[in-house]
Each structure stands twice: as structure tokens, then as C-alpha cells.
Amino acid sequence: MSEEKKIESLQKEGQIFEPDASKQGQAWIQNMEAYDAANEKALNDPDGYWGDRAKELLTWFSDFDSVLEADYDKPEFKWFSGGKTNVSYNCLDRHLTDGRRNKAALIWQGEPEEDVKVYTYQMLHTEVCRFANVLKKKGVKRGDRVAIYMPMIPELAIAMLACTRLGALHSIVFAGFSSIALQSRIDDCQARVLITADAVLRAGKTIPLKGNADEALKDCPTIEQCIVVKRGGNEINMVEGRDSWWHEEVNAEDITSDCPFEEMEAEDPLFILYTSGSTGKPKGVLHTTAGYLLYAAHTTQCVFDVKDDDVYWCTADVGWITGHSYIVYGPLTLGATSVMFEGVPSYPRPDRFWQIVDKFKVNIFYTAPTVIRALMREGEEWVKNYDLSSLRVLGSVGEPINPEAWLWYHNNVGGGKLPIVDTWWQTETGGIMISALPYATPLKPGSATKALPGISAKIVRRDGSVADANEGGHLIVDKPWPGMLRNVWGNPDRYKSTYFAGFPGAYEAGDGARMDDDGYFWIMGRLDDVINVSGHRMGTAEVESALVAHPDVAEAAVVGMPHDVKGETIYAYVTLKSGVEPDDDLLKALKIWVRKEIGPIATPEFIQFADGLPKTRSGKIMRRVLRKIVEGSDEFGDTSTLADPGVVTDLVEGNKDLL
Ligand code: 6R9
């Protein structure tokens, strides 16, 4: 069957990909009976379930007295009260005596091919202790905030773990953010120390970074010290008394000296991470010690089924929550081998990811739909040159994966055999909430499938009543889980109003979703991305999926455009695959295509062909900007997190031509 036909039949019949029978029973949760049993136990006896998991996965210096104290009114959630532990101890020290000290903890692939570093657990422990001693000398102590603004280099993971060793909170700001974004985040959390680098190596270029830090620090009175890693070797400005080189600081430390870890309370703050800024002013999401670490480790185990001799690779940047939980904390708590890659998928050629998979014989590969679509655009020849037979589990995160991209990933990367775990979660949830379990859950392309055991996710109407099957509604979680955020830094009111005010007794995710007749979740995207056409709710993601399923389309973004009669009408921005020229025939064909795929109600009234879409640096389309364009407004709000602000000017021109 041709790929197109297959997609068509998929959407019509809701084709299900059953787990490969010959492999079933191998994963951590072996089949749906085991899932049901775990889920039932976890929902009926959460204290028993999470208490057992906490003892299995973490090492405690003092046992906890209670598993959970929850108060939705305050709101306040305390997990594992009375328990004492330390994150860096769980990620490093205990693996020195459990048979893993010579095992690779981190395999780092630099942007230049020859730049590879491998840190065993022993070596990583040494480096973390050394750097923790540096921080200690600078006066960093329990409860202090340390800002980190670094490229994807090993020192980033070392810095994080060093903070946790001392009980200091890190606040990582993605190195692609501007100085303004950095300044406002440092200002919000009042960090004492900034750790950065001279430059970021990206797509063959040396992009200066320290200059941004200098710019930000002009207006950051709380920062006393700035430690700089040499990565690019470019000329930088060092401020006397404030700035120092990482290598000089570390070399001054005794290579053999240990750094004692702090015994932290379970609920002591662990880190702050500002949400990506695709909506409104960034919020400092606060995670705490034991619950977060447990949840990161637990989900790494059940969703990715990481085995002891696996090579596991999550392609996210550590600057996002995905990198925190699934490059560093989850895998290292389990004693796994985690790959960290400095470069980009498309440089020097669009085969870099597959080359790395082949080179390190990666077993588990976790990436984002935006990456898949970009690589899909380049054609499957790039995948074919490599031996990807080491792969066992494929993952996806960040946005709904449209069936077209799902199938491409499944067929070309997964050889038509591998399960794709489409993982729904958020910065706020700390770890994966809704996902298939590999080799257990029957898969439906485009659906994140079912909530993990113990995660009580529901779709409700505005009044809190549970939505019918296939009825779109608000995604909420009405039982606490260990990885949930504990506050918005410095703003408890916002914590309450954003997450707990909408639906009493539940966490509100802010996403729209529906559940099908089989109890599978279909995430429609942020609720502000839902379009209401003549009273029919429509996920922009659904229309986008349909457009992207067309063979000529590379990417699509759909927004609602105000309409006198219908309330809103659909306006689509479309980028085409290389070599395809836009014309009126294609425009008509696309409208017919969407009409056929979803129904007349979903037909875009306008389709604007564009060279690029406005994306945040994490690859999320900034729909807020697209909506403003169709409203004819030029008040785009904060666009400082856009990867390429120039795209917006082009889109405004294109919009004028069209209307
Ligand atoms: C992990 C991460 C969270 C938002 C979330 C949702 C979207 C993430 C998704 C997904 C559909 C998935 N999202 N994973 N939508 N399917 N598998 O991305 O965290 O950056 O906080 O974004 O991303 O809209 O609410 P974060």
C-alpha cells in the first residue's frame, strides 16, 4: 500500500498497530494486563504504590514518615515527608558500589565528529565533586540559586549535579535565549552565580554566548560570580573580580577530593525552570527533591524500558524540561548510559542523527515531531545509509505527532516494526504522564494512548463534568503524582490560579484533548489553540495533521481568524517541501484534501504559503503571533524567544497579499 493510501485508511478505520508478539513480555510493564493491574493498585492505594516505588528507586538517608499529604485548597502537596536523600548521591555515589562505577554514565558527542567524551560513573562523580567544591568556595550553599546558561556540553550536566550536591537550586536558561530573557529569569529567581560559556558551536558556526551573559549581567545585581567554560575559544570579555574560567577554577581543586553531599529533606526545592514562553510571561516552575527524582526515574523505566546495557539517547536540549528529566536525572538515577549531543540534526548533513545512532548503537531514541517533520522533508534516503538495527524503542515529545510524521518515523527509522511512545507531559508535570508502554500498548498514530499507572487524567467540560467519549474538553489530573510542580517561584497566587483554580481538586493542564471509545487520549494542543468554527470545536493540531499528510506539505500552522458569521474561520500557514512551487491549483487541492480528511467544517478558508513559521527556539510554533497577523494586529507581544524574528515580517507581507 502506498504511504498516502495507508494514511487515508488509518484515519478512516483508526488503524491500530498491535505490539510485536515476538517481543511482547520483554518490557518493564509487559502487557496491558500488567498495566491494568499496576494502574488499579496505584489508583486505589497511591501511598502503597508510590511508597514502594520510592524505596525501590531511590536511596534514603532517613526513611519517610508519610507518602503524601495533599491540600488542594492551599494548594500544597508534600511527598515523602521526613525522608532525607540527595539527588547527586542517587545519580552518582551509589552507582560506585552497585557494579556500575566503570559503566558509561554520559556519552557526549560534540558538534565536530571527533569531539567525543565518555564519562564513567566514577569519572562523573569526580568532576561533580570538584566543581561542587568550586561552588562551595564561591559561597554557594543550600537554598541558593545558581543560573546556568550553557551549550550542550558535559559541564552543563556536571554543573547541575554539583548544585544538587550542595542543595543549591539551578535555574537553567536555554542557550538559545536572548540576554533579555536571561536577565529576567535571573532577576526573578535572584541567582548568586551564573555559569556560562564563551560560545555555542552550532551548525558549523561559533556563536558567541558570553556577550549575551555580559549584557544580561548589566542588570543583575544579585550575581556575584560568573564561571565561564571555554568551548569556542573566541575572544571574550572577562570582568575582574566577577568572572573566572571553569578550567582554572576546577584545576585548582584537588582531583581526588570528595565533596560531601547535603542530606536534603524530600520537599527541599531542587530546581526552577521557566516555562518556554509560548504563552504570556514565563513562570518559574518549581520542582522539589525526592518526588521529582522518583518520578523522572520511574517514568524513564516504564516508558523507555532502559536496560542495563542499553545506550539511551534523548535529543532534547538540557535547557528544557525534557533534557532535565530524560538526559540527566531519570537515566542517571537508574544507572543508565545517556547520550548527550551538542549539534543539530541537519548539520553537516540531514543524516547526523542516524549516523550517531549507528555509531553508538543506540537502543532507545527520543525526539520531537518538529525534528521528524524537518528530516522527512529531506527525504528518506538519508536514513537508509545507516544500520539502525540497534534501536528498540522510539519516542516523541513536545507536540502532537501527526499520523504522517508518525508513519514516516515508524517506517523509516523503526523499520516498520518499532513502537513509538508518544509522550504527553509538561514542564509542570516533571515527567511523562500519558504514553504508550513499549511492546505492551496497541498504538494509534497521533494518540498518546493511555495515562501511566496512577495518573488520573480525565477530560472534563468547563463545569467539571466528565466529557463524553470523543467530546473535546479540558485535560485535568485529579490525583497528585510525585513529579508535580510544587509552586511558581515567588508567586504562589499564580500557582493556584493557573493550575488549581479552574477545577477544584484537580490540576489543570491547559491542554485540550478528547478520549476515544477505547479510552485513548488525543491531545488537541493548548486550549488557546482550539478554534471554534460555527460552534464546532476543532484542534488546530487536527487540521495541521491533515495538511501535513499531503505529500507536498512540509509544515502547517493553523489559527482561528475572527469571522462575522462563524465566530472563527480557519487560516492556515503552510510551508512546502523543497522543490514544490506554490500555485492556485495546489491551494485548491489542499482545501479539498483537508475537506476530505476531516470534513467540510475543517476546510481552511485561507491558506498562506510561507517560507518559514515563527518558532520558539524549542521548536514550538508561536501561534499567538500567527493569530495576531490574521487579526491584522501588529502587537505581537514578547517575541524575544523566537528563533528567527525575521519570519514574522515575511508572514505579515504574505497575509496582506492574500486578504
Ligand atoms: C515536555 C514538554 C508542554 C506542552 C503541553 C502540550 C505539548 C507535549 C505532547 C504535547 C501533544 C504530546 N505537548 N508533549 N502535545 N502530544 N506528546 O514539551 O513540556 O515545554 O512544558 O510543553 O507541550 O501542549 O501542554 P513543555
Using DSSP's 3-state secondary structure scheme, residue 589 falls into: helix
Check residue 535 and give its pLDDT. Answer: 58
Stretch among 82-96, 271-285, 415-429 having the lowest mean pLDDT: 271-285
* Confidence category of residue 525, pLDDT binned at 50, 70, 90: confident
Check residue 541 and give its pLDDT. Answer: 76
pLDDT in tens, 286-312: 999 999 999 999 999 999 999 999 999
pLDDT in tens, 612-645: 999 888 888 888 899 999 998 888 888 888 888 8
Q: Ligand 1: does its nearest atom lie under 6 Å from the Cβ of 279? A: no
Cα-to-centroid distance, 345 and ligand 1 (Å)? 20
Q: Ligand 1: does its nearest atom lie under 6 Å from the Cβ of 109? A: no
Q: Ligand 1: does its nearest atom lie under 6 Å from the Cβ of 434? A: no
Cα-to-centroid distance, 425 and ligand 1 (Å)? 5
CA-nearest residue for atom 4, ligand 1, is 426
ipTM confidence:
1.00
User: Once rounded to an integer, what is the mean pLDDT over residues 435-454?
Assistant: 97
Q: Ligand 1: does its nearest atom lie under 6 Å from the Cβ of 529? A: no
Nearest Cα to Cα of residue 216 among 248, 178, 244, 171: 178
Q: Ligand 1: does its nearest atom lie under 6 Å from the Cβ of 544? A: no
Residue 111, φ and ψ in degrees, nearest 5? -65, -50
Euclidean distance between CA atoms 106 and 117, whole angstroms:
8
Euclidean distance between CA atoms 82 and 236, whole angstroms:
47
What nine digits make up the cell of 342?
Answer: 551538542
* Confidence category of residue 534, pLDDT binned at 50, 70, 90: low
Mutate to test the pocket of ligand 1, among 399, 402, 459, 499 (most ligand atoms within 8 A of CB): 399
Q: Ligand 1: does its nearest atom lie under 6 Å from the Cβ of 449? A: no
Q: Please determine, for residue 281, whether its predicted confidence score (pLDDT) is greater than 70.
A: no
Decide if 465 contacts 505 (C-beta within 8 A).
no
Check residue 374 and give its pLDDT. Answer: 87
User: Once rounded to an integer, what is the mean pLDDT over residues 495-517?
Assistant: 94
DSSP state of 580: P
User: Once rounded to an integer, what is the mean pLDDT over residues 322-328?
Assistant: 97
Residue positions counted in the chain: 659
Check residue 538 and give its pLDDT. Answer: 67
CA-nearest residue for atom 26, ligand 1, is 426
Annotated binding-site positions:
202-205, 322, 398-400, 422-427, 511, 526, 534, 537, 548, 550, 553, 595
Q: Ligand 1: does its nearest atom lie under 6 Å from the Cβ of 321? A: yes
pLDDT in tens, 341-364: 999 999 999 999 999 999 999 999
Cα-to-centroid distance, 245 and ligand 1 (Å)? 36
The number of the ligand 1 atom at minimal distance from the alpha carbon of 320 is 20
What nine digits make up the cell of 583?
Answer: 500555485
Cα-to-centroid distance, 526 and ligand 1 (Å)? 9
Q: Please determine, for residue 11, whether its predicted confidence score (pLDDT) is greater than 70.
A: no
Check residue 278 and give its pLDDT. Answer: 38
Q: What is the pTM for the complete model shown? A: 0.86
DSSP string computed for 25-46: T-SSS-SHHHHHHHHHHHHH-H
Using DSSP's 3-state secondary structure scheme, residue 477 falls into: strand
Q: Please determine, for residue 13, whether its predicted confidence score (pLDDT) is greater than 70.
A: no
Considering only CA atoms, give the Rg of the chain. 24
Stretch among 260-274, 472-486, 541-555 having the lowest mean pLDDT: 541-555
pLDDT in tens, 19-54: 998 998 889 999 999 999 999 999 999 999 999 999
Cα-to-centroid distance, 620 and ligand 1 (Å)? 9
User: Once rounded to an integer, what is the mean pLDDT over residues 169-178?
Assistant: 90
Mutate to test the pocket of ligand 1, among 272, 300, 397, 507 (most ligand atoms within 8 A of CB): 397
Output the average pLDDT for the chain: 92
Cα-to-centroid distance, 132 and ligand 1 (Å)? 33
Euclidean distance between CA atoms 617 and 647, whole angstroms:
13
pLDDT in tens, 368-397: 988 898 899 899 999 999 999 999 999 999
Helical packing angle, 584-597 and 540-548, nearest 10°: 120
Cα-to-centroid distance, 649 and ligand 1 (Å)? 27
Cα-to-centroid distance, 67 and ligand 1 (Å)? 28
CA angle, residues 273, 163, 239, in degrees to nearest 5: 90
Q: Ligand 1: does its nearest atom lie under 6 Å from the Cβ of 399? A: yes
pLDDT, greater one: 526 or 129: 129
Cα-to-centroid distance, 412 and ligand 1 (Å)? 24
Check residue 399 and give its pLDDT. Answer: 84
Stretch among 235-249, 365-379, 483-497 having the lowest mean pLDDT: 365-379
* Confidence category of residue 14, pLDDT binned at 50, 70, 90: low
Annotated binding-site positions for ATP:
398-400, 422-427, 511, 526, 537
Decide if 445 contacts 6 (C-beta within 8 A).
no
Stretch among 48-57, 91-100, 444-453, 521-530 having the lowest mean pLDDT: 521-530
Check residue 4 and give its pLDDT. Answer: 52
Euclidean distance between CA atoms 325 and 480, whole angstroms:
19
CA-nearest residue for atom 23, ligand 1, is 398
CA-nearest residue for atom 16, ligand 1, is 400
Q: What percent of the chain has pLDDT over 70?
A: 96
Mutate to test the pocket of ligand 1, among 426, 427, 474, 528 (most ligand atoms within 8 A of CB): 426
Contact partners, residue 622, CB within 8 Å, separation at least 6: 278, 614, 615, 616, 639, 641, 642
Using DSSP's 3-state secondary structure scheme, residue 376 falls into: helix
| Cβ density class 456-492: b for 16+ within 10 Å, e for less | bbbbbeeeeeebeeeebbbbbbebbbbbbbbbbbeee
Euclidean distance between CA atoms 631 and 405, whole angstroms:
30
